[in-house]
């Protein structure tokens, strides 16, 4: 992963601030893991789409529209690209099923946003650098299931096999993220990630 990080950091270093980096891929593909590794290299905060959920009830939605992409754009993306030094946004509480607190994020001109479904046309134009974490969907789902069971002790297999898979595939077909990103990172094997 180090050589991949080095290549991406080198590219990012050529960009003018503010630099908004988007990382997406199927659920379970390794987005958060890679975002955290890149965050350490760039000393940049990470904001994840899970903070922008509309509800913890996961049924009957399409294209990941359970996430409030409009609020993400209004509270984070547009203020950041307009030069705001402090980003404030409401954080969704998955236990109480509502927005509970405002989070302030300080940055030095570089911000990473990661999550499923973020590479939709109205948001893509705001990113300075886009990264797709490529992984076969069945492998990503297996990883997600394993993580939920082993790390969170909260199995959610019916969502992974059902609505989450459906939404990942819909976004992939509708928005063609691999055709529109700066980097495609192959993460089909756990622990190995490289530019494809």
How far apart (Å, rounded) are the C-alpha atoms in residues 166 and 60?
Answer: 11
* Res 52: pLDDT: 96
Q: What's the token pair of residue 47?
A: 């904001």
* Res 101: pLDDT: 86
Alpha carbon distances (Å) from 89 to 75, 99, 167 = 5, 10, 25
Question: In the 8-state DSSP scheme, what is residue 16?
Answer: P
How far apart (Å, rounded) are the C-alpha atoms in residues 114 and 32?
Answer: 7
Q: What is the pLDDT of residues 139-158, one digit of tens each?
A: 999 999 999 999 999 999 99
Residue 15 has pLDDT above 90, yes or no: yes
* Res 196: pLDDT: 61
Evaluate whether 141 touches 160 at the Cβ level (below 8 Å). Answer: yes
Phi, psi of 108 (to 5 degrees): -115, 40
pTM of the predicted model as reported, rounded to 2 decimal places: 0.94
Q: What is the pLDDT of residues 88-135, one digit of tens each?
A: 999 999 889 999 889 999 999 999 999 999 999 999 999 999 999 999
The full set of domains in the chain, from first to last, is 2-195 (3.40.50.300)
Q: What is the pLDDT of residues 51-76, one digit of tens each?
A: 999 999 888 899 999 999 999 999 99
Half-sphere CA count of 77, side-chain side, radius 13 A: 23
Q: What is the pLDDT of residues 28-45, one digit of tens each?
A: 999 999 999 999 999 999
Helix axes 2-12 and 31-42, enclosed angle (nearest 10): 60
How far apart (Å, rounded) are the C-alpha atoms in residues 22 and 113?
Answer: 5
């Amino acid at each position: 992963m180090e050589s991949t990080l080095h290549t991406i950091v080198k590219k990012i270093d050529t960009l003018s601030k503010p630099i908004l980096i988007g990382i997406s891929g199927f659920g379970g593909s390794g987005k958060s893991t890679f975002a955290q590794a890149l965050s350490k290299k760039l000393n940049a905060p990470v904001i994840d789409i899970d903070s922008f959920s509309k509800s913890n009830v996961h049924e009957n939605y399409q294209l990941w529209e359970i996430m409030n992409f409009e609020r993400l754009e209004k509270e984070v993306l547009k203020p950041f690209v307009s030069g705001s030094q402090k980003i404030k946004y409401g954080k969704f509480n998955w236990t109480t099923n509502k927005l509970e607190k405002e989070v302030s994020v300080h940055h030095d001109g570089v911000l990473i946003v990661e999550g499923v479904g973020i590479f939709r046309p109205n948001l893509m134009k705001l990113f300075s650098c886009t990264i797709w974490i490529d992984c076969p969907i069945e492998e990503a789902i297996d990883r997600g299931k394993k993580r939920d069971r082993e790390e969170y002790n909260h199995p959610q297999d019916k969502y992974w096999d059902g609505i989450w898979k459906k939404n990942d595939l819909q976004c992939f077909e509708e928005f063609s993220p691999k055709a529109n990103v700066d980097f495609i990172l192959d993460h089909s094997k756990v622990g190995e990630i490289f530019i494809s």
